[in-house]
A and B are shown apart, each in its own frame.
Chain A
Amino acid sequence: EVQLVESGGGLVQPGRSLRLSCTASGITFGDYAMSWFRQAPGKGLEWVGFITSKFYRGTTEYAASVKGRFTISRDDSRGIAYLQMNSLKTDDTAVYYCSKGGQLVRSGRFDYWGQGTLVTVSS
């Protein structure tokens, strides 16, 4: 059974940093792209960024709203994807989800999702 579990969320002050983790089980983690999404309270879904598999050079792409502040990385030996969030703003307050992509990330086949972790940016 495929499982994705996010952790690391919580309350953080504006301007500070936070790192989220997404621990995967039940899949050959290194074969797949991984992506992060978020959903602000009462709002729609927003794509945050992705990291491709090592086969596709571990390439990363980010939404304009987080580019330069957020970084996605992966540890294939441990089956974990990370979202490093720096210079956090109040607008970053959201539930953050990780998701497993297809082998070709552009297909948009994000077929397994974690339960989400809440990040609240407030003073």
Chain B
Amino acid sequence: QSALTQPASVSGSPGQSITISCTGTSSDVGGYNYVSWYQQHPGKAPKLMIYEVSNRPSGVSNRFSGSKSGNTASLTISGLQAEDEADYYCSSFTSSTTFVFGTGTKVTVL
């Protein structure tokens, strides 16, 4: 199972919106509405930000939103804040009854 493809880095100024893409195949992202997004600060455990493509766990800011079109899922962060600077990973359930992660995206707040 190949890793999902994410851009290595995305940056934006405070207050702006950015979007991170996550491209897979019809055997993972395109085949199921089971895409999740995780935020990870250096030295910390991952934090679930989005599950089932577009659902936010309680406590996660509504500045974070998710969507999917075909084999590509996206995470949008609106009103970018300094605390959003972190690594972000997408993940998808697969037709092999396993999970696959994306390559990871480093978000920089300029």
Contact = CB atoms under 8 A, between A and B. Distances in A.
Contact of A47 (B34, B47, B91): B91
A110 to B, nearest CB: 6
Contacts of A44: 3, 89, 101-104
Interface stretch (A7-15, A82-90, A112-120): A112-120
Interface string A38-64: 000000111100100000000001111
Given A47-B91, A115-B45, A108 B3 contact: no
Contacts of B46: 37, 45, 97, 113
Contact of A108 (B40, B52, B102): B52
B29 to A, nearest CB: 11
Given A97-B45, A109-B52, A47 B98 contact: yes
A111 interface: yes
A108 B104 CA distance: 17
Interface residues of B, number: 27
Interface string A81-109: 00000000000000001000010001111
Contact of B36 (A50, A108, A115): A108
Given A44-B103, A45-B104, A47-B100, A106 B32 contact: yes
Given A61-B97, A97-B46, A115-B45, A110 B103 contact: no
A109 B89 contact: no
A1 B3 CA distance: 33
Given A44-B103, A45-B89, A108-B35, A61 B98 contact: yes
Given A109-B36, A111-B57, 15 more contacts: A35-B99, A44-B101, A44-B102, A44-B104, A45-B89, A63-B1, A63-B98, A97-B46, A106-B32, A107-B51, A107-B93, A108-B35, A111-B51, A113-B47, A115-B45
Interface of B: 1, 3, 32, 34-36, 38, 40, 45-48, 51-52, 57, 89, 91-93, 97-104
